[in-house]
Amino acid sequence: MNHIKYNQAGKIITITIDRPGKMNALNPEAMKELARCWEIFQSDDAAWVAVLSSTGERAFCVGMDLGAGETEKESMYDLTLGVSPKTHRVNKPVVCAIKGYCLGLGWWLAMECDFRVASSDARMGIPENRLNICPIFSGLTAQHVPPGIALELLLACNHLEAKRAYELGFLNRLVDPQEVEREAAGLAEKICQNAPVSVRKTKELFYESLEMSRSQSLTMARLIYEDLEKMEDTVEGRQAFREKRAPQWKGK
């Protein structure tokens, strides 16, 4: 791949947007490469958690590369949709490491990850309406920040500073710029200490329940609970707890 790096260290995958000369703006080729990375990650049983990062200090991603020209063969709607891990039904945790500007498509990427670690100087925004573009994720933004803040981002196109984004709960961690990757990796490692199958099932239950009634969520939870009870990892987890040692997860 020319624009996206995919690296594995143990159970953790690092996916890196590598277009620093363009402030990590995504052209159609980069968007397709990123979509492919999510497919690879989801299909690899040895990969438990992913960290989405970028090259350089100026920007995580400033959105779509408008200098790349129009594409006649592919829908930009479909390409934009494809960069999200949720589009590919990734049921494993994804941590987003944000430095510098996180705009437009960059916001969409951060929003679609499960955790967000950002540098204290990060700035976030959704500038699409300056270009007569309605962001495809407009209706989902209020799931992450209050409606008034969401509308200011979308309609006034004002930036949201990292400190304010942290106060609103959009960011999980706010750290010095040089600590972003380390903090994101530390969170990924912490997740990897837990049982991989139950982590994935819990993530599925969490997101599915956003569109369910209480009774539907509890019904789904019961089915998951009963399936997990039959696993070797459940026996191992309880045995490790009794023996005061770290469990050896097998994913079965």
pLDDT in tens, 51-67: 999 999 999 999 999 88
pLDDT > 80? residue 160: yes
CATH of domain 4-192: 3.90.226.10
Q: Of 101, 114, 111, 97, give the one whose Cα is nearest residue 144.
A: 111
Phi-psi region of 38 (alpha: psi -120 to 50; beta: other; left: phi over 0): alpha
What global pTM score does this model have? Answer: 0.94
The domain defined by 196-243 folds into Lyase 2-enoyl-coa Hydratase; Chain  A, domain 2 (1.10.12)
pLDDT at 163: 97
Give tens-digit pLDDT for 112-153. 999 999 999 999 999 999 999 999 999 999 999 999 999 999
Count the Cβ atoms, other than its own, within 10 Å of residue 31: 25
The whole-chain average pLDDT of the chain stands at 95
Percentage, residues of the chain above pLDDT 90: 95
Confidence at 75, pLDDT banded by 50, 70, 90: confident
201-221: average pLDDT: 97
Q: Give the residue extent of every domain in the chain.
A: 4-192, 196-243
Confidence at 72, pLDDT banded by 50, 70, 90: low
pLDDT at 189: 98
CA atoms in the 13 A half-sphere facing the CB of 28? 12
Confidence at 70, pLDDT banded by 50, 70, 90: low
Confidence at 76, pLDDT banded by 50, 70, 90: confident
pLDDT > 90? residue 73: no
- Taking the C-alpha atoms of residue 133 and residue 194, their distance in angstroms, rounded to an integer, is 42
Can you give the length of the chain in residues? 252
Question: Which residues lie closer than 8 Å to 98 by C-beta, 6 or more apart?
Answer: 60, 110, 116, 117, 118, 119, 122, 124, 162, 171, 180
pLDDT > 90? residue 69: no
pLDDT > 60? residue 30: yes
Question: Which residues lie closer than 8 Å to 164 by C-beta, 6 or more apart?
Answer: none
Q: Which two structure tokens, joined as six digits, stand for 115?
A: 């955790």
- Taking the C-alpha atoms of residue 98 and residue 76, their distance in angstroms, rounded to an integer, is 24
CA distances from 7 to 29, 47, 52, 79, 130 (A): 19, 11, 11, 23, 36
